[in-house]
Structure 1
Amino acid sequence: MTTIGFLGLGRMGAPMAANLLGQGETLLVHDISPAAVEGLVAKGAEAAGSAAALGERCEIVFTSLPTPNIVRQAIAEVISGGSPRIVCDLSTSGPKLAQDLHEILAARGIASFDAPVSGGIRGAEQATLAIMVGGPEALWPHVEPLLQRIGRPFFMGETPGAGQVAKLANNLLSLAAIATTAEAMTLAIKAGLDPARMIEVLNAGTGANSATRDKWPRAVLPRTFDFGFSAQLSLKDTRLALEEAEAMGVPLPTGERLAALLDRVLATYGDDADFTAMAKVVEADAGLDPERR
């Protein structure tokens, strides 16, 4: 029986880990939050007690963590306890870290997969995430069935970081959709058009996108700005994309503008602001009251 480890039980990690339960394997979990661990134990997982214990007991270890540095430190702890056969990072941690981890893990005979996900908390809960994967093709059959339980995996190639580059490109488009939708909606609202009717129109026409279909109805029109992904993490992802683009000699002027807009969101609304608060900054620039109902 395969023993699987899952490290990082946040808003994305907890539902992904839960979707790995119930297929016969043993699932060990760990997080800095005891409550998060208890929640998974109540569903049938076992508490590992530490990241090192995952490395000691598990054949395959998944990580879902917020920043590259935290991923690096966590995997160092995992391999301090033993040598799992495969480590698969589901975080958006950038291609540079994926390449570093590949070298570190390969030296210990451990295979490394980078497999960042897209689809938000709802996608994690419903197991509909898009998963962009880079790693050794020979071991892909061992990882793919597990990833299929949490979403739809796409194998992007054997180059370490292939999945990360795909995810960063996806995130740029997603954030650009939010920013452009905010500008279009602000133009319409300033002209006196009804916001809800305007979203209906956009979704019936060629302007439809992920922001008009999901983010505006759920978080912007009701003025809750609680879609479930932080502006801080969005800025982290955008900066990772800019760093990789600079290394490859690819200009990303739109990415630079998105980073500047997210900086303003955090400066205005604080570190806990949702990324949909980008709309409030655009509205305020146009003289609209961002706190209106």
Structure 2
Amino acid sequence: MTTIGFLGLGRMGAPMAANLLKTGHTLLVHDLSDEAIAALVAKGAQAAGSTAALGERCDIVFTSLPTPAIVRDAVLGPDGIFSRGKPSIFCDLSTSGPQLAQDLSAALTPQGVACFDAPVSGGIKGAVDGTISIMVGGPEEEYQLLRPLLEAIGKPTHMGETPGSGQTMKLVNNLLGAVAIGVTAEGMAFGIKAGLDPARMIDVLNQSTGINSATRDKWPRSVLPRTFDFGFAAALSLKDTKLLMDEAAAAGVPLPLGRIVQDYLERTLEREGPDADFTAIAKVVEEAAGLDPDCG
């Protein structure tokens, strides 16, 4: 039986960790929130007590954390996962960017650690249901050992052995997803101002070539009912977009649509505050079009 560690029991991490319990392996967990730890312990996990203890006691460690800086400190910091122990496999499920994945691999691979970047997509519902997409970069041989655990979490695809390949795929995915929200908001604002019914517009788009992830999921669930609670923070979406723009700039790839999305997200946070959902981009577009706040 393998001892698995999971660090980061947030809105995505907690359900992913819970799904790992179904594999029958011993699962140790840690988080800044005592309540989050207690909820997993109630389901059968064990509390590690600290990040360092997690690394000391586990063979495989997963992380699901909000920012690259937090991931870096959790892995390489003085009280991090590798400060007192050396798990044989490390797998970062966070969206933390290709550069960090390369840095972690450079630090850990010489120590004999198989290092994986494996960001996920599919939202909280996908994390709960075990249907999220997992984009994996890392060594092929150890991937075959890791894959059954990833399959308990979702649907993994091995993008290649190059460190950061999973993170690169995630940034591509996030660009398309965020642009879909922006362009859907623009199209909807134009149609509404011309007098069209927004619900009927979404119905038509979802049976036409304009269908996308925003028309299929986000507008019916969060924008049309004006709840703007799809479950992904605008601040995290902005973090991901900035990662994308930085990596693209370093690669010499201009992303003008990415710049527009970044601007929309920044304006959304200014308008709605730090807890805004990323679907609130629609409010920014509607306001610019001179629409009533309840038009959606």
2:41 aligned residue: 41
- Indicate if the aligned counterparts of 2:192 and 2:295 stay in contact, CA closer than 8 A: no
- The answer for the alignment partner of 1:60 in structure 2 is 60
Structure-1 residue corresponding to 2:158: 155
Q: Distance in 1 between matches of 2:23 and 2:163?
A: 29
Deviation per residue, 1:176-224 (Å, 9 max, x gap): 0000000111111111111111110100111111000100011000000
| AA aligned opposite 1:92 | T
Match for 2:274 among 268, 271, 275? 271
* Distance in structure 2 (CA, Å) of the matches to 1:137 and 1:180: 38
Distance in 1 between the 2:293 and 2:81 partners? 45
TM-score by length of structure 2 reads 0.97
Question: What are the within-5 Å matches in structure 2 for residues 179-218 of structure 1?
Answer: 179-218=182-221
Identical-residue share of aligned pairs (%)? 68
- 1:1-293 equivalent positions in 2, closer than 5 A: 1-76=1-76, 77-292=80-295
Report the 3-state secondary structure (helix = DSSP H, G, I; strand = E; otherwise coil) of the residue aligned with 2:201. helix
Q: Which runs of 5+ in 1 are unaligned?
A: none
In 2, Cα distance between equivalents of 1:267 and 1:291? 19
The letter for the 1-side match of 2:119 is: P
Deviations 1:21-61 (A, max 9, x none): 13221000000000000000010100001111111110000
Structure 1: which amino acid aligns with 2:166?
A: G
Whole-Å separation in 1 of the counterparts to 2:9 and 2:111: 26
Q: 1:110: Cα distance to partner? A: 1.2
TM-superposition CA deviations, 1:59-82 (whole Å, max 9, x none): 000000000000011112000120
TM-score when scaled to structure 1? 0.98
- Residues 132-186 of structure 1 show CA distances to partners (whole Å, capped at 9, x for unaligned) of 0000111011111100011110000010000000000000000000000001111
Matches of 1:20 and 1:237, distance apart in 2: 26
Could you tell me which amino acid in structure 2 is paired with residue 10 of structure 1? G
Indicate conservation of the 8 Å contact 1:156/1:163, yes or no. yes
Contact 1:281 1:290 in 2 (8 A): no
Deviation at 1:292, TM superposition (A): 4.9
Q: Secondary structure at the match of 1:20?
A: helix
Contact 1:106 1:112 in 2 (8 A): yes
CA distance in 2, matches of 1:263, 1:22: 40
Contact 1:105 1:111 in 2 (8 A): yes
Asked if the contact 2:23/2:152 (under 8 Å) is kept, the reply is no
Distance 1:43 1:142 in 2: 25
* Superposed CA RMSD: 0.9
User: How many residues are paired up?
Assistant: 293
Quote the Cα distance in structure 2 between the aligned partners of 1:259 and 1:121. 23
